[in-house]
Each structure stands twice: as C-alpha cells, then as structure tokens.
A and B are shown apart, each in its own frame.
Chain A
Amino acid sequence: MTAATDMTLAEARDRLAAKDISAAELASAHIQAVEAARPLNAFITETPERALEMAQASDARIAKGEAGLLEGIPLAIKDLFCTRDVMTTAGSHILDGFHPTYESTVSANLWDAGAVLLGKTNLDEFAMGSSNMTSYYGGVENPWKREGDNRKLVPGGSSGGSATAVAAHLALGATGTDTGGSIRQPASFTGIVGMKPTYGRCSRWGIVAFASSLDQAGPMTRSVRDAAILLRAMAGHDPKDSTSVDRPVPDYEAALTGDVRGLKVGVPKEYRIDGMSPEIEALWQTGIAWLKESGAEIVEVSLPHTRYALPAYYIVAPAETSSNLARYDGVRYGLREDGDASLTEMYEATRGAGFGAEVKRRVLIGTYVLSAGYYDAYYNKARQVRTLIARDFQEAFENVDVLLTPTAPSPAFAMGEKMDDPIAMYLNDVFTVPASMAGLPGISVPAGLSGEGLPLGLQLVGRPFDEETVIRAAGVLEAAAGFDARPTFVTGS
C-alpha cells in the first residue's frame, strides 16, 4: 500500500472515502514529514495542532456521511493568504506578528470543503521574486539537486515554499498565487503541476495584494487531476472582490477525458527567443509531438508583441505595488520604527526597515512611473502595450484552442545565482508574463529532465475561463510525458 505521503490528492480522497485511512492518520503522517523537512525552510509557520483538530473534525464528518470535496486533505497555504489567528507574513519584516482577524475567501472555501491546514509556506517578500530568495524568512531549498552536485538550488518563486512542500511530499497540495509566473515557474523548477486560472476565477479577498490587476490564486499539486480537484474548491464568485466573476464553477476533474483529437494547439513562434537553451527547445518539440500523436492539430501562431510583455509588466506591476504597499505605515499593523520621531520620520523609518531590497526597488520604480511628468510616458504606455498583448492572444484564439510553450527558460538555479542583476532574475518569467498580462489561464506540467537531472515544465495557455480545455490538454501531456522522476530529498539519494 502506498505510504500516506506518497499518495496523490485524488488517491487520498478516495481512500478517505473508503475509510481505508483516517484523516487523523493522514494529517499525522504529513505533520511528521513537515517536521523532518525543516532544513528546506518551506514553511514559515507550522500549524500541527490545528491540523490534528481539523482532521478529527473531518473524520467525524466522514463517519456521518457529510464529507466535503476535500474532506481530510492536508494542504499547505502560501503565507500571502490571510488566515484567521494564524500569523500571516507575506515573507516581509513589515508584517511582523500580524495575526489576521479574518480568513481569505480562497482559504475559507478550502476549509468549507473539509481541507486541513498544515501551515503557511515561505515565499518571496510580497510575492516579488522568482527564486524565493527575497523572503525575510530566508530562502527555500528545492528538494531536487543536480546530478553529482550537492549545491542547494532554489525552488523558483514566488510560491517557492508551496512548490517545495508539494514536491517533497510534505503536503498533498498547496495554494499559490501568480502575478507574472509565481505558480507556474516554481512548479516547473520542482517537477510539479501549477495552475494559474483566469483572472477573476478565484477571489483575491484576503490575499495580501501585490499587483491587483494581475494577482490570481491557483493550485500546486503532484498531478493534473489534483490541480483540477483543488481549483474547483478554491474558485467561485465572491461579492467581496468586485473583480471576481459570477460564473458557475465547473467540475474540472470531469474535463480530464484524455481525448484531444481535433484540438487545435497553437505554437507561438515568438516564444523561440534568442539564446534559448537547446534542451528547452527540444522539450518543447517533444511536447508538440506528444499532442500531435494524441490527435491534436498543431498550428503555428504569431503573438507579435510577446517581447514587450516583460518590460510592460515591470512598469504595471511596480506601479500597482507602490499603491498597494502604501498601507504599510507602522500605524495599523506590523512593524513600527522610531515611533518617537515625527509622523513622516516614523513612516519612512518603518518602511525603510520593513521592506527588503527588491520590494524597495519596485516601490521606487512604481512611484517614479506614476509621478507627474512620467505617468504618460511609462504607465500609460505600458497599459497600451498591455492592450496590444491581449489582442495578440485574442486573435490567436480565433484559430486555436490552446497554446503550448515552455514554462521557464531554464531549470532551477543555485541559491545566490542571479541575485546581483534584477533583470536577469526578471527574465525567468519571460514565458509566463504574457498570459498574466492578458489575464489568461495557464498551467505548467512536468514534462522531462534537463541534462543535469532537473525537472522542466511545459506550459499550456487557454482562452479566458476555459480552464477545462487547458486541463484536458494538460492531462494528455502528463500521460504522454509519464514523468515519474522523484526529487533527491524524497528518494534520499
């Protein structure tokens, strides 16, 4: 019988329903795994007592035949989701000791479905980063290592703790948030599935805001089926988020028909960027071949403004950052420095000490591009470019049903690499940012190993609110890839 921490979420759900394992047993096994994996630094806060209480309540509901969709499933929650009475840090010093008095809508949906909270996972500060190295609570270690090389690698970011927790079998699934690739890129780096749904699919209420026109929550799991199950429980309309969409949530699992015959898969030629690594290119070609062999029709498409997506993102996202992060003023929550000075000095001291280097850079860039005299040249220009990027996708989706691209330009890199050049770090998101700018659903599926033995993901992008086609194609890609490599941390070798 599979060990409790080696099951997929779907297997655990079925075994819980068959009373083959109890929620308490499942929670205990995962609590032990979380404790044993502390050197990876995946969690900022562990909640073992709460996990056991919730699991016992799940067992009682299962006994009464009142099980929810995720009854008894132990999950890790990115520490960007506010959780009532459980410290929520956003990976930042400025939120020191913050214990929300409310619950984010997405996490509340999960608890209503019966899920169990294992703890809050580490992340780049305010979700700004692609390595998890900007966290005030330190970097997270990727459970994978290069063959014959003992250096610690990053799990990607910003949802690095969630990615490591799932890849290292510490949780059956995790929540992430994705602003420009923060679910998909770490999923690729750690060999798991990560999905960013359409903007508006999941409520943003109670998620610490970074760039509100881009932020979206999504599932991180070890299979496409698990992502479908978790997304269904997370998603839904919420009157408290005016951008959340009032549409019924489909049973995404039912979309996994395994059939892509006649599906039109677009391959955007502009994603073949200069200096692209040959192994990424080869993996992409392999993915194309898999879908073709499964009966899909491959169509080359053009997204002419692709190369402008990343620079436009680095105007739009910092602009929204500077506005959203204005609330951290040392008065209402978190850190306060130099409270005896003048009010302005207190603000400046608190924010100077409370924000890390990358967050400060983005707040300053954002303040600059929104300031008088620069607003049109930078911010409005970037919003116009964003319109052009969204139009590119709209036109492509007149001819195809889904797009296939690589998820990230490289496998995981070592801790400390790319830290002295912000733009080199930003380029991690070159393939994920365009879909974010257009609000589209995207998923990363583990598809193969690099020459150094590290996981690589392929990305599928779909039409707005057509997560089902994305999931269906991802299921076929997953089956064709048959990715069964396990991280060094799990195999112990």
Chain B
Amino acid sequence: MSVDVGTVRRIASLARVKVEDAQAEALVGELNNILSWVEQLGELDTEGVPPMTSVVEMELPLRADAVTDGGVAEDIVKNAPDPSGRFFTVPKVVE
C-alpha cells in the first residue's frame, strides 16, 4: 500500500496538522519509504496470534469511584495561552 498527495492531505486533516503544499509532496516520499519498510511484517504468518494488549502480565487495578482531587481551577488554566478568568477560550464556533 502506498500513499499519494491526496492521502497525505486527508491524514493531515484527520490529525489536524497544517501541511504546506511543498511539505505534502515531500511527505509522500517519506511516508511511502516508511510504509514500504514496515510492509515486511506481511512475511509473518500471524493467524491466530492474539494482538498484545499489555506488555506486563497484570490485572488492571480498581479503586473506589470517589473524588480524589479538585478545586484547582487556577492551576488548570494557568498555562492556557488565552484564558479568560477560570475559562479556556477558543475561536467562535457558533454564528
């Protein structure tokens, strides 16, 4: 499988990354090189092999469904690029 410039644009849009025209052209070659290199996994018969979900055998821990943190609104917005009081701001989305 290989990607063309349209596919690169589509992926970039899914990933919400702005890609300039010249960059998109260059990425076609770069991504195809990587994708054709990983194609070699196709040589392996993996029929019936379970996909790894956890690298270390362990049971997922459970805890009580209780509030353990909070009351730190100032901390949460402290690093926001353009906060308004205790709120994050985004460009207007409703006309």
Chains A and B are bound partners: yes
A: which residues have CB within 8 A of B?
97-102, 198-200, 213-214, 239, 242-243, 245-246, 305, 308, 311-312, 314-315, 322, 326, 329-336, 339-349, 351-353, 355, 360-361, 363-365, 367-368, 371, 374, 377-378, 380-388, 390, 422-423, 437-439, 464
**Is B56 in contact with A199, judged by CB distance below 8 angstroms?**
yes
| Minimum C-beta distance from B38 to chain A (A) | 4
| Minimum C-beta distance from A374 to chain B (A) | 7
**Is A364 in contact with B56, judged by CB distance below 8 angstroms?**
no
Closest to B46 in A: A384
Interface residues of B in 1-56 (CB under 8 A from A): 1, 3, 7-8, 11-20, 27, 30-31, 33-35, 37-38, 40-42, 44, 46, 49-56
Task: Report which of A242, A311, A322, A422 forms a contact with B61, defined as CB distance below 8 A.
Answer: A242
Total cross-chain contacts (CB, 8 A)? 168
Task: Report which of B18, B51, B61 forms a contact with A351, defined as CB distance below 8 A.
Answer: B18
A/B interface sample: 10 pairs, CB < 8 A = A99-B79, A213-B54, A245-B58, A345-B91, A348-B17, A367-B14, A368-B31, A374-B1, A378-B38, A380-B51
A387→B57 CA distance, assembly (Å): 12
**Is B3 in contact with A360, judged by CB distance below 8 angstroms?**
no
| Minimum C-beta distance from A245 to chain B (A) | 6
Answer whether A101 and B78 are a contact pair too, CB < 8 Å, given A314-B38, A364-B31: yes
Answer whether A388 and B38 are a contact pair too, CB < 8 Å, given A340-B91, A367-B14: no
A100→B31 CA distance, assembly (Å): 34
A349→B20 CA distance, assembly (Å): 11
Contact residues in A for B93 (Cβ distance below 8 Å): 342-343
Task: State whether the Cβ of B67 lies closer than 8 Å to any Cβ in chain A.
Answer: no
**Is B34 in contact with A423, judged by CB distance below 8 angstroms?**
yes
Closest to B26 in A: A357
Answer whether A346 and B79 are a contact pair too, CB < 8 Å, given A198-B56, A199-B56, A311-B41: no
B: which residues have CB within 8 A of A?
1, 3, 7-8, 11-20, 27, 30-31, 33-35, 37-38, 40-42, 44, 46, 49-58, 60-61, 63, 72, 75-76, 78-82, 88-91, 93
| Minimum C-beta distance from A420 to chain B (A) | 10
| Minimum C-beta distance from A339 to chain B (A) | 6
**Is B8 in contact with A341, judged by CB distance below 8 angstroms?**
no
A438→B11 CA distance, assembly (Å): 30
B contacts with A: majority SS = loop
Contact residues in B for A102 (Cβ distance below 8 Å): 75
**Is B17 in contact with A245, judged by CB distance below 8 angstroms?**
no
**Is A200 in contact with B56, judged by CB distance below 8 angstroms?**
yes
Contact residues in B for A380 (Cβ distance below 8 Å): 51
> Which are the 7 A-B pairs with shortest beta-carbon distances?
A352-B18, A383-B51, A439-B55, A336-B81, A333-B79, A384-B46, A101-B75
A351→B93 CA distance, assembly (Å): 19
**Is B81 in contact with A335, judged by CB distance below 8 angstroms?**
yes
Contact residues in A for B3 (Cβ distance below 8 Å): 368
Closest to A351 in B: B17
Contact residues in B for A363 (Cβ distance below 8 Å): 15, 17
**Is A311 in contact with B14, judged by CB distance below 8 angstroms?**
no
**Is B1 in contact with A365, judged by CB distance below 8 angstroms?**
no
| Minimum C-beta distance from B85 to chain A (A) | 15
**Is B41 in contact with A361, judged by CB distance below 8 angstroms?**
no
Answer whether A332 and B17 are a contact pair too, CB < 8 Å, given A385-B44, A388-B49: no
Most buried by A among B3, B52, B75: B52
**Is B91 in contact with A343, judged by CB distance below 8 angstroms?**
yes
Contact residues in B for A437 (Cβ distance below 8 Å): 55
Task: Report which of B31, B37, B89 forms a contact with A361, defined as CB distance below 8 A.
Answer: B31
Closest to B61 in A: A242
| Minimum C-beta distance from B81 to chain A (A) | 4
| Minimum C-beta distance from A235 to chain B (A) | 14
**Is B11 in contact with A305, judged by CB distance below 8 angstroms?**
no
A214→B31 CA distance, assembly (Å): 23
Contact residues in A for B52 (Cβ distance below 8 Å): 383-384, 386-387, 390
Answer whether A305 and B38 are a contact pair too, CB < 8 Å, given A99-B78, A390-B52: no
Contacts A360-B19, A365-B34 aside, 19 further interface pairs with beta carbons under 8 A come to: A99-B79, A242-B60, A245-B56, A246-B61, A333-B81, A341-B91, A342-B91, A343-B93, A345-B91, A346-B91, A351-B18, A352-B18, A363-B15, A384-B49, A386-B55, A388-B44, A390-B52, A390-B55, A439-B56
**Is B55 in contact with A213, judged by CB distance below 8 angstroms?**
yes
Contact residues in B for A349 (Cβ distance below 8 Å): 18
